[in-house]
């Protein structure tokens, strides 16, 4: 009888463990709780994607923290998160450091993105070449042609993906004083709306989803600049089709990097983003999906 009592007690204890946690392994592709870090340029995309993911999987609880690219990478290496989204894959040196610490990671390109340039509606200068942009970023060209006022270039944060993009484009270690940071892509948009001499630099994701009421509000009070590779080339705005064909010159990639276990929620989110549903969301948000073709429709009018 004593053995039967202890067996019954052990069985009841085991049942209690399952009832409290749902299962001994509650972290699956569609259930659990986690925190991911995302470069702030991609905030609109991930707000939509995580809301959709959680509506499909009621037991999933994902918190996204948005920060500059350098800080996002730093959080990954400090093991504050197992999954990040940034504008590049890790370098050979970064991968070697992780391998040295016996950390296995997987990198997945989920989309092609673009950097958008925006100006105040009162500014008639809405065309720019890559060479002209480089001249501005190195302080060699500081006056708007039409306004005859100083050009103030404003971006989201120091050490952000946009900041690194500007430095790489200008091939400069230090940007001039008229190129400065605020605190977010949203603040860049607000600054441009109230300063007609401003040239704003944002992730195109912030102004590309025309079905989003916030995006429509952002677009009310700014103009998107058309960019040409050279003065002899055609000017293009960062529309999805031109990002896909690379006719728009300021493109970049979107990467998710994950070191979580293959069966967990972090991996489930990555699989969702590179899968059919996630890629359709990326396309809806105005970016170019990495794994799904974009239909290009050429419109013409007959005279």
- Please give the mean pLDDT across all residues of the chain: 89
* pLDDT at position 173 over 90: no
Sign of the CA dihedral with 182 first, then 186, 189, and 195 last: negative
DSSP letter string over 22-75?
Answer: SSS---BTTBEEEEEEEEGGGHHHHHHHHHHHHHH-TTEEEEEEEE-HHHHHHH
What's the Cα-to-Cα distance from 44 to each of 15, 55, 141, 247, rounded to whole Å? 42, 17, 33, 24
Which range among 62-76, 124-138, 167-181 shows the weakest confidence by mean pLDDT?
A: 167-181
Residue range 19-40, pLDDT digits in tens = 444 444 589 999 999 999 999 9
- The whole-angstrom separation of Cα 128 and Cα 119 is 12
What single string gives the DSSP state of each residue in 203-270? EGGGS--TT-HHHHHHHBTBEEPEEESSTTSPPB---HHHHHHT-SS-EEEEEEEE-S-TTSHHHHHH
Task: Report the pLDDT value the prediction gives residue 137, as an integer from 0 to 100.
Answer: 96
pLDDT tens track for 228-240: 999 999 999 999 9
pLDDT tens digit sequence for 135-147: 999 999 999 999 9
Q: Is the pTM of this model over 0.85?
A: yes
SS3 158: coil
Phi (first) and psi of residue 136, to 5 degrees:
-70, -45
Q: Which domains are seen in the chain, by residue range?
A: 17-112+253-289 (3.40.190.10), 114-251 (3.40.190.10)
Q: In terms of C-beta density within 10 A (0-12 exposed, 13-18 middle, 19 or more buried), how is residue 270 classed?
A: buried
The average pLDDT across 65-76 equals 98
Per-residue pLDDT tens over the stretch 245-258:
999 999 999 999 99
- Compute the distance between CA of residue 135 and CA of residue 126 in angstroms, rounded to an integer: 16
Contacts of 286 (CB under 8 A, 6+ apart): 204, 205, 208, 209, 210, 239, 240
**Reported confidence tier of residue 18, pLDDT bands at 50, 70, 90:** very low
pLDDT in tens, 256-286: 999 999 999 999 999 999 999 999 999 999 9
């Amino acid at each position: 009888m004593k053995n039967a009592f202890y067996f019954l007690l052990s069985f009841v204890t085991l049942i209690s463990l399952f009832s409290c946690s749902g299962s001994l392994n509650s972290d699956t592709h569609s259930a659990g709780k986690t925190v991911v870090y995302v470069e702030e340029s991609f905030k609109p995309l991930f707000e939509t994607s995580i809301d959709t993911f959680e509506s499909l999987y009621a037991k999933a609880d994902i918190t996204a923290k948005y920060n500059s690219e350098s800080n996002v990478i730093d959080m990954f290496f400090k093991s504050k998160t197992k999954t990040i989204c940034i504008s590049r894959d890790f370098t050979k040196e970064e991968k070697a450091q992780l391998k040295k610490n016996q950390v296995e990671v997987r990198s997945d390109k989920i989309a092609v993105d673009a950097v958008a340039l925006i100006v105040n509606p009162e500014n008639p200068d809405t065309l720019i070449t890559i060479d002209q942009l480089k001249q501005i970023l190195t302080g060699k060209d500081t006056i708007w042609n039409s306004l005859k006022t100083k050009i103030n270039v404003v971006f989201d944060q120091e050490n952000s993906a946009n900041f690194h993009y500007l430095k790489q484009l200008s091939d400069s270690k230090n940007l001039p004083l008229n190129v400065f940071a605020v605190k977010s892509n949203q603040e860049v948009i607000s600054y441009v709306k109230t300063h007609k001499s401003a040239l704003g630099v944002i992730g195109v994701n912030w102004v590309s989803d025309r079905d989003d009421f916030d995006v429509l509000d952002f677009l009310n009070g700014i103009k998107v600049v058309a960019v040409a590779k050279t003065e002899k080339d055609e000017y293009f705005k960062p529309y999805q089709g031109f990002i896909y064909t690379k006719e728009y010159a300021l493109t970049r990639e979107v990467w998710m990097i994950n070191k979580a276990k293959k069966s967990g929620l972090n991996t489930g989110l990555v699989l969702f983003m590179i899968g059919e549903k996630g890629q359709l969301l990326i396309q809806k948000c105005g970016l170019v999906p990495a794994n799904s073709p974009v239909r290009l429709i050429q419109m013409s009018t007959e005279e």
